[in-house]
Amino acid sequence: MKKLSAVVGLAVLFVVLLACKKGEGSHCYLNKDCKDNLVCLSENQECATLETADSVCGKSSLCKSLGMCKASHSVGAELVAVCMAKSEDDCKQADCAKDGCTYHSDTQTCQK
């Protein structure tokens, strides 16, 4: 009986630990891995607030090269937040700005 209780106790603990959502800065794969009001940013695979995700994107090489300076605000459980261009201002920061690229809202990209 004691062994059964121990096994049941360990099983419950295992399930509880699996169900825990991760806090800011924790490693993640999908938004559902993170606590409410946090997203999983694909750039660094960490749980972050949308503000922190925007900051990480703004400092990334994707911002400088392609204008992908803001995090997507997709909050679906099976999704991740990705860096993307969200405005003409993002495109002005990109290397392609000197070649005349502009923001295209339909694809959320900077292109000629």
In a domain, 41, yes or no: yes
User: Residues with Cβ < 8 Å from 91, sequence gap 6 or more?
Assistant: 67, 85, 97, 101, 102, 103, 110
In a domain, 91, yes or no: yes
CB atoms within 10 A of CB 68: 27
In a domain, 101, yes or no: yes
In a domain, 2, yes or no: no
In a domain, 60, yes or no: yes
How far is 21 from 52, CA to CA, in rounded Å? Answer: 18
- Domain range holding 96? 22-111
- 15 by Cβ neighbours in 10 Å (0-12 / 13-18 / 19+) ranks as exposed
pLDDT at 91: 93
25 has pLDDT over 50: yes
Banded model confidence at residue 1, pLDDT cuts 50, 70, 90: low
Banded model confidence at residue 4, pLDDT cuts 50, 70, 90: low
pLDDT at 3: 64
Average pLDDT, the chain: 84
Number of domains in the chain: 1
Q: Are strands 83-84 and 109-111 parallel, antiparallel or unpaired?
A: unpaired
Residues in the chain, total: 112
67 or 19, which is more confident? 67
Percent above pLDDT 90 for the chain: 60
pLDDT digits (tens, 9 = 90+) for 37-87: 899 999 999 999 999 999 999 999 999 999 999 998 766 677 889 999 999
Can you give the pTM of this predicted structure? 0.73
